[in-house]
Structure formats: C-alpha cells, structure tokens
C-alpha cells in the first residue's frame, strides 16, 4: 500500500471536509485546501502553544481556517486574508457550518495591503499560516516578522513547490521565490525553523523576538 494512501486511510471522516469538497465541486473550483493531516497539525500547534491571535494568509474556502480556529482558546481569534470574494463568501459559509464563525474575521483584499494596514495598526499575532500566492512568500515572511509576538509560531505550506524548489535549473518565479523564502527562514536570526518534506513541504518556525 502506498504510504500516503495508508496515512490518509487512518483518518476518521471529518463532516466539514465532505461539505467543503461538495461546495468546491459545485463552484467549479480547484481543490486547494491543505490535506487533513496538515489541518490536524495546525490545530495541534495552535492548541499546544495556547495561541490567542492567529493570522492566515490565503483563506480559500476556509478549511485551514477551521483547523486553526479549532485549536484556539475560547477567547482566541483568527484573522484570515483572501483577495477573492467568492472564496471569502464560501469560507464564511463553512465557518458557520463548522461552528467557528464567531472566532474568525475574514479580510477581503490583496494580502500585502491588509498586512501593511495591520502593521500600521500595530496588530500582533502569535500564530501565522502562510498559504497564498507563492511568489509573495518572501514578502509575507517580512510582514510576519513585523507582526509577530515573541514566541509566535509560523507555518508555511507548499515550501517544496511540487519539487521545483529543489530544481536549481528552474528559474520560474514560484521556485525562485520559494527558495528565497526557505533560505531566509532557515537562516533567520529571529526565527528558529525546520522544513519537513511532508506532502508539498511544510515549514514550521518559532519567533524568538
């Protein structure tokens, strides 16, 4: 049995995943949600760290947001950034279905604009999940560093760019940006990071301030 197939076969059915898959299909959207095992990792990290204020860059239809919200304390909040209104509306619907809508603020707009505004407002977060346009990952790391509380956790998905990150002959914008992000994060003085080659690659880091 293929390893990934075995691992996925262990998962009990999460009813929200079925509802999300159905609405993605109905809306004719590609499947872009994190795998359930990554979703569980997000919930676990948020819960372990006792996170109160989480920021997600790249909402899509809300699955990873639901996983983050599931780990938050009862006073904790998630702000999630999404540029597409259709995605944001579907996410709000799924947040309601999952019973976490009261913990989540969806901010519609270009993430860079929202991040700049949040910096001006001196917002601070103790959890970051980066999962939007891959070419902006290096920029998102800079914003997260400005917005991070001491001890904050950062998770970034797709840091292997379907293997293209490790192909140094590939000079397309995505692998170039992802390589830059990975190098900056792993050598950063304020982030203690690891990069796991699971699924499409997942980076996890802690902010030392």
Ligand X SMILES: C[S@@+](CC[C@H](N)C(=O)[O-])C[C@H]1O[C@@H](n2cnc3c(N)ncnc32)[C@H](O)[C@@H]1O
Tokens standing for residue 199: 């699924």
As a whole number of angstroms, the distance between CA 110 and CA 133 comes to 10
**From the CB of 61, what's the least distance to ligand X, in Å?**
6
- Mode of pairing for the β-strands spanning 77-82 and 104-108: parallel
| Residue closer to ligand X, measured from CB, 205 or 209 | 205
Tell me the C-alpha distance between 180 and 208, whole Å.
21
Residue 97 CB, nearest distance to ligand X (Å)?
14
Q: Which is nearer to ligand X, 132 or 165 (CB)?
A: 132
Contact track, ligand X, 37-76, x by CB under 6 A: ---------------------xxx--xx------------
Residue located via tokens 């997000």: 42
d(CA 114, CA 150): 22
Residue from 49, 84, 164, 188 binding ligand X (CB under 6 A): 84
Which residues, other chains included, contact 120 with Cβ-Cβ below 8 Å and sequence gap of 6+? none
> Minimum Å distance from CB 132 to ligand X?
4
**Structure tokens belonging to residue 142:** 């800079």
Residues 169-188 that bind ligand X (CB under 6 A): none
Judged by CB under 6 A, does residue 126 bind ligand X? no
Q: Which residue, 121 or 169, is less far from ligand X as judged by CB? A: 121
How many residues belong to the site for ligand X (CB under 6 A)? 19
Q: Judged by CB under 6 A, which of 41, 69, 81, 141 binds ligand X?
A: 81
Residue partners of 84: CB distance under 8 A and separation at least 6:
none
The vertex-187 CA angle with 182 and 189, nearest 5°, equals 130
Interface residues with ligand X (CB under 6 A) are: 32-34, 58-60, 63-64, 81-84, 87, 110-111, 131-133, 136
């Amino acid at each position: 049995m293929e390893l990934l197939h075995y691992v996925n076969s262990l998962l009990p059915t999460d009813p929200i995943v079925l509802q999300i898959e159905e609405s993605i299909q109905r809306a004719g959207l590609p499947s872009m949600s994190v795998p359930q095992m990554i979703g569980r990792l997000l919930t676990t990290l948020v819960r372990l760290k006792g996170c109160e204020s989480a920021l997600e860059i790249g909402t899509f239809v809300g699955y990873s947001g639901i996983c983050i919200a599931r780990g938050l304390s009862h006073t904790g909040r998630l702000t999630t950034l999404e540029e597409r209104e259709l995605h944001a509306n579907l996410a709000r619907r799924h947040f309601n279905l999952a019973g976490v809508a009261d913990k989540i603020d969806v901010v519609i707009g270009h993430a860079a604009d929202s991040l700049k505004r949040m910096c001006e407002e001196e917002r601070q977060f103790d959890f970051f999940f980066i999962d939007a346009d891959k070419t902006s990952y290096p920029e998102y790391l800079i914003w997260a560093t400005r917005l991070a509380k001491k001890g904050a956790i950062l998770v970034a998905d797709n840091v292997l760019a379907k293997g293209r990150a490790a192909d140094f002959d590939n000079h397309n914008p995505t692998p170039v940006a992802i390589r830059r992000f990975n190098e900056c994060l792993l050598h950063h003085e304020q982030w203690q990071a690891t990069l796991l080659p699971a699924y499409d690659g997942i980076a996890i880091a802690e902010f030392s301030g």
